[in-house]
Structure 1
Amino acid sequence: MRVLLVEDEEDLRQVISAGLRDAGYAVDTASDWPEADVMLDLVPYSCVVLDRIVPSGDTLLPLQERRRRGWTTPVLCLTALNEVADRVDGFHSGADDYLAKPFAMVELVLRVGSLVRRAPERLPVVLRYADVELDEVRREVRRAGVLLYPTPKEYAVLHHLLLHPDEVVTRTALIEHCWDEMADPVSNVVDAVMTGLRRKLGEPALIRTVRGHGFRLTDRTDPS
């Protein structure tokens, strides 16, 4: 799941990015609305964390315009403006949630998770394939009823594979959905995470390498 963070304060941007990445999200960042606007046209984000006041002005105005055009991505408005009238303006302009600064990082992560789960296109909160079960609410993974302990990145990769069972998922697709703009597309980050995930899932193996293409989650003996 990929999140866009729009925040002009560099230190705060780094703190929020780190917190979301630790929670398993891929995070892209923008320091102003024009930059974010371009990124929103290029990437189907699961959620946007939007600072209300940025150098180009109040982001509620362009948010409202996007909503008028049918844009439905969940938005968490993160701002120091926290009067009742400010919150009302935010919701009327298309924000789905509103969090005042200063805030607790754990609360921001929980609110982002809630928005992602409530998005119209989301799948059921429990994803299953063979004897593997992933609970999006508890962020738990089990195989044959046994609780596993994947890292946040392993969880993100498994989540994406579970959304596309018995399909070939390319390395590029995994990087786009599970990493962010900091990831090197030619590095072995995908292989390293996949090795750890396979080890934790155990036998019989469910993740197959499709050479030259990517990976497939399958319980078929012949996945071709």
Structure 2
Amino acid sequence: MAKFLKALTLLAAVMLPAQTGASFVDNCTTFDSNLWSKADWAQGLGSVQSANVNPSGGGVLNFEIPAGTHNGGEIRSKAQYSFGQVAANFKVPNLPGIISSIFMYQGTSTSDEIDIEVYLNKGKWEIAFTIYRLGVKEWVHPYYPTWDPSAGYNDYMIDYQESAISFYINGALEAQFHTPSQQPIHPMNIQLNAWYPEWLNGPLAASTEFFQVNQISYTQS
């Protein structure tokens, strides 16, 4: 019986997140190490580096893309989050081939994931809304803005609910997925990053640019 109870305890530890996050608003005046950790690893054509993620001191979290590199930066929430609204206000760099994103990611080999990715591809801005369930891409919806995402700050939001997942930009609903049987089923970390994927095959950064974030929030349902 003791062995059985121990096995159940271990199973629960695997199945449940170590920390479940509550609602928060981060105004990016400092780097909040209670909420976030920085990443250091190879990714795509280059790497994401913790040294490239720093607050400006004026309410902006800068993700630096150094000139002559394919390097960027990434942050990941220490807690995992379930149903609710994940939002950020940010300005993307005007560099071809780099993805700037806010997303939810479980972080396993068969990971659940919900993405908003902004990038400049062959001279045209694109925004991709994507959903994975257990590592399988279930849905992707491309959006082609008539405005320049690098010209100023814009609001991006994932509204993750049991009945549907909705994607908003500047308060306007731009896409919605409402097939609950194909939605993520696990709590996920909130992440933001700027990185160069191989498939976009972007050139080295012609100048030092920044992915700039001035607010990140989560509102629990």
Normalising by structure 1, report the TM-score. Answer: 0.24
Greater share of helix residues, 1 or 2?
Answer: 1
Larger Rg: 1
Greater share of strand residues, 1 or 2?
Answer: 2
Normalising by structure 2, report the TM-score. Answer: 0.24
Higher relative contact order (CA 8 A, sep 6+): 2
